[in-house]
Amino acid sequence: MSEPLVLGIESSCDETGVGIVRGQEILANEVASSVDQHARFGGVVPEIASRAHLEAIGPTLERALATAGIDPSELDGVAVTSGPGLMGALAVGVAAAKALAYAWNKPLYGVNHLAAHVLVDELDHGPLPLPALALLVSGGHTQLLKVEDLLTGITEIGTTIDDAAGEAYDKVARVLGLAYPGGPVIDKAAQQGDPRAIAFPRGLTARHDLAKHRFDFSFSGLKTAVTRWVELAERDGREVPVNDVSASFQEAVADVLSAKAVDACRFHEVDTLVLGGGVAANSRLRGLLEERCGDAGITLRRPRPGLCTDNGVMIAALGVEVIRHGGRPSPADLGADAGLPVSRVLV
Amino acid sequence: MTVLAIDTSTDVRVAVADGPTVLARATEHDTRSHVEQLVPLIRRALEQAALDLARIDLIVVGMGPGPFTGLRVGIATAQALAIADAIPLRRVCSLDVLALTGVRTLSPADRAEGFLTCTDARRKEVYWARYDAAGVRDGEPRVGPPDALPDLPIIGPGVAAYPQLGNRGTVEAVDAGLLATRGTELPEVGASPLYLRRPDAAVPTRRKSALALPQRPGAARPRIRRRPA
Ligand SMILES: [Zn+2]
């Protein structure tokens, strides 16, 4: 049997992605980002993102079709992020996908964005040994997932109780007068700094927190601590050591994320950890995870950077998986669900 | 010429026409289910008209003004259908469709000085535009409080939302049938929706001071460690 050919659309946050995948093979991966338009606000503005999606969806789709060089009649289905994400942003992608599926007379699959982040790694590294754990870290999400089955068995075992890790990066970058988004610039500054210069707090790692929040995260206290530290330094007329603050902040984030991920793998007796989301590109998080997973005998898997951030390929790849397993198409009244739980991979 | 008309500036409205004849209309009144209902309505209308999408010569879409998320659903759908089947797309102002109804329903005497079209913009405001007696739009569509409207007859669903407009207004819905049969007569607008409002987003000015916050246990104290040279 020939491999399923699927077009996938992603529009849950600030990237408009259209990907075309045949089996394991990526035929097109077109992404338009509105990141520059959010820069002066220091974070993603939902309405600006939604406007940008509408502007970008047509051209991105046309580029993807041209790059893949396929005829839509060859497609086995159209997949789209139904949630979770920003409502207005999701609505643009779902509307476009529904129209395409109808026009081309193809089945439509509304799928879960988080599950797609996990599954996309299979394009680079082959089948994921199950059970596995996934650590998804980006500006929009910070989650630990247990994956027993890619379509029916994903459960959230931990999440942030306040800010996403990527948001903390953005806010700290702002406090330090660095550019938006904060991830890459803080990572760069941190290379020149001392990660032990300042002992910033590690959220939800105290004994009394672990009882209830063993695998959960909190970055709001860390963000406040950095802000406070910088303001005190400024008040006292000391020069703020941007590189040291960046390195120490980054160390705190990477320390908590990697420690909890490895602890979760041990607790759930899982020996494979998949990384996903934009923050997966962070050099310190990667380094520390490699070290700690190595020590614990856990295999760390991470898709190439272009597949870690939001894209249409991961949605198409999940569509391929759904078709391979005979998943039923989504109902005609498919909508967007901002709070779609990760347990619902196919809507 | 066969035309598919889509307007989601108020609720969800679809029609199919062949030249001057409306073949099918489909409407969803729930204003919170644009994504869910639009494509099923299009399918139903085309089935009723006994036409395949591939047989449609033109898609006409209302570009607003209207509540943003629903508006974008109609435009994204129209655009994707147009790309999928290489169908030409014409973009018009949704208030201009109401003006077609205005010319039909208001007597020449009533609209001698011109008239207005108006839809609900929420937040105690309306979207509106002004037309001459022949139904030609005078200026750009606007958004503002209902009390600021010129003293002229008003056509549109906005009338129902604001009692103070009632005495000179007629509640009429955006007629997708008119959009389908006469959309080609309406002026084209640009590729961007008629948002008329800027996104709600404030540029952060001064950051909030964290110094006023109580010191929490475990919070970092300023303490610079010298790096080894
Ligand atoms: Zn994501």
Domain extent listing, chain B: 2-93+175-185, 95-170
CA distance A235 to A104: 63
Chain A 14-43, CB below 8 Å of chain B: which residues?
40-42
Q: What is the DSSP letter of A302?
A: -
CA distance B2 to A342: 43
Q: Which CB contacts under 8 angstroms, 24+ apart, belong to B206-212?
A: B207/A174, B207/A175, B207/A227, B209/A231, B210/A224, B210/A227, B210/A228, B210/A231, B211/A228, B211/A231, B211/A232, B211/A235
B5, pLDDT greater than 50: yes
Q: What tens digit of pLDDT does each residue of B127-182 get?
A: 999 999 999 999 999 999 999 999 999 999 999 999 888 888 889 999 999 999 99
- A198 and A259 in one domain? yes
Length of chain B: 229
- A253 and A317 in one domain? no
- A238 and A275 in one domain? yes
Which residues in chain A are contacts of B39 at CB distance < 8 A?
Answer: 95, 98-99, 102, 332
Contact across the interface for A335 and B33, Cβ inside 8 Å: yes
Q: What percent of chain A has pLDDT over 70?
A: 100
- A167 and A67 in one domain? no
Judged by a CB distance cut-off of 8 A, whether residue A208 touches chain B is no
CA atoms within 13 Å, Cβ hemisphere of B64: 26
- Per the structure, the count of domains in chain A is 2
Residues B46 and B4 sit within 8 Å (Cβ to Cβ):
yes
- A193 and A154 in one domain? yes
| Paired tokens of A10 | 């992603």
Q: Partners of B17 in the beta sheet?
A: B3, B22
Judged by a CB distance cut-off of 8 A, whether residue A179 touches chain B is no
Give the model's pLDDT for residue B96: 98
Peptide bond into A84 cis (omega under 30): yes
Taking the alpha carbons at both ends of chain A, their separation in whole angstroms is 26
pTM of the predicted structure, to 2 decimals = 0.94
What spacing in Å lies between the alpha carbon of A83 and ligand 1's midpoint? 10
Give the model's pLDDT for residue B210: 64
Which residues in chain A are contacts of B80 at CB distance < 8 A?
Answer: 57-58, 61, 95-97, 99-100, 103
Using pLDDT thresholds of 50, 70 and 90, give the confidence band for residue B203.
confident
| Paired tokens of A2 | 């020939």
- A282 and A148 in one domain? yes
Pick from B9, B5, B130: nearest CA to B58: B5
Residue of B nearest to A196 (CA): B225
- Rounded to the nearest angstrom, the minimum Cα separation between B4 and chain A is 13
Q: Partners of A29 in the beta sheet?
A: A19
Quote the mean pLDDT of chain A. Answer: 96
CA distance B130 to B150: 9
* CATH of span B95-170: 3.30.420.40
Distances (CA, A) of A192 to A170, A187, A203, A243: 19, 9, 25, 6
- A133 and A70 in one domain? no
Give the model's pLDDT for residue A176: 96
Q: What tens digit of pLDDT does each residue of A304-336 get?
A: 988 999 999 999 999 999 999 999 999 999 999
- A258 and A109 in one domain? no
Give the model's pLDDT for residue B214: 46
Contact across the interface for B76 and A54, Cβ inside 8 Å: yes
Averaged pLDDT for residues A258-283? 95
What spacing in Å lies between the alpha carbon of A278 and ligand 1's midpoint? 7
Pick from A204, B84, A3, B194: nearest CA to B186: B194
CA distance B126 to B112: 23
Amino acid code (one letter) for A104:
W
Residues A14 and A35 sit within 8 Å (Cβ to Cβ):
yes
Judged by a CB distance cut-off of 8 A, whether residue A315 touches chain B is no
CATH topology agreement for domains B2-93+175-185 and B95-170: yes
Residues A138 and A278 sit within 8 Å (Cβ to Cβ):
yes
Averaged pLDDT for residues A235-242? 94
CA distance A83 to A344: 10
Pick from A117, A118, A142, A140: nearest CA to A257: A142
Give the model's pLDDT for residue A140: 84
Which residues in chain A are contacts of B36 at CB distance < 8 A?
Answer: 333-335
- A151 and A173 in one domain? yes
Amino acid code (one letter) for B119:
T
Give the model's pLDDT for residue B227: 40
Q: What are the strands of the beta sheet with B21-28, ordered from one edge?
A: B21-28, B12-18, B2-7, B58-62, B89-92
- A179 and A101 in one domain? no
Residue A42 lies in a domain: yes
Classified by CATH at the fold level, domain B2-93+175-185 comes out as: Nucleotidyltransferase; domain 5 (3.30.420)
Residue A336 lies in a domain: no
- Rounded to the nearest angstrom, the minimum Cα separation between B90 and chain A is 15
Distances (CA, A) of A289 to A184, A199, A217, A293: 18, 20, 16, 6
What spacing in Å lies between the alpha carbon of B34 and ligand 1's midpoint? 25
Averaged pLDDT for residues A184-198? 97
A169, pLDDT greater than 90: yes
Question: What secondary structure does DSSP assign to A172-228, as a single string?
Answer: HHHHTT--SSHHHHHHHHHHTS-TTSS----TT-SHHHHHHHTT-B--HHHHHHHHH
Using pLDDT thresholds of 50, 70 and 90, give the confidence band for residue B201.
confident
